[in-house]
Structures are given as structure tokens and as C-alpha cells.
Amino acid sequence: MIARPVIAIVSLLLPLGARAETFRCGKWIIDTDTSLEELTQKCGPPSSQESKTEEVKARNRNNGLWVHTGETTIETWTFDRGSRAAPMVVTIIDGQIKSIERLKK
């Protein structure tokens, strides 16, 4: 009888662990290991693109104050895949794909 609750809990946790998606561009599969050069070669340019730069801060060990340690660039590329497929959003941080999400139609 324990199996049923365990299966229910595991099934609830699976979507949380399976955040990394993939999507198809023609015959190619795009995932978080794909380089930006490969992405644009295989899928073409994104239909829309946004970019923002954010400060990176860390706590100073000596006095506990937050100090500026650098900047990070976050880009969001959207690929419209036609009327039969949901658009895909690729989040890129400092030049590397970090996540891929399917937009709801």
C-alpha cells in the first residue's frame, strides 16, 4: 500500500526536475548544451530578442556589506515555429544557453 503514495510524490516531483527542455529545428535537436553559433546555424535568427545587464554582488567577508563584483548579461531569444508548434524561449546567460521553455499558445 505504500507504493501508491510514493508514486504520487515522485510524479509530482518529476516536472520540477525535468525543467531542461529541448526543441527541434528542422532535423536538429536544440538543448542547453548547444552553442549559440550552432543555435543560429540550425534555427536561424530568433523572431524576437531581449537583452539586459545586471550587477553581480557578493557579501564582503570583512564587513558583511554587499559589493559590486561584476556584471552578467541575460538574453531572451524567442523562436516562432509556425502555427502548428508553440514558440520556444531560450534564456542565455553570459553567452551560454541556461534554459529552454515552451510558451503556451
Q: Is residue 97 part of a domain?
A: yes
Tens digits of residue pLDDT in 56-88: 999 988 898 998 899 999 999 999 988 888 899
- Backbone dihedral region of 70: left (phi > 0), alpha (psi from -120 to 50 degrees) or beta? left
Tell me how many domains the chain contains: 1
Could you tell me which residues are beta bridge partners of residue 53?
Answer: 73
Q: What pLDDT band is residue 12 in, cutting at 50, 70 and 90?
A: very low
Q: Is residue 14 part of a domain?
A: no
Cα–Cα distance for residue pair 96/26, rounded to 1 Å:
22
- Please give the residue range of the domain that contains residue 82: 20-102
Does the pTM exceed 0.75? no
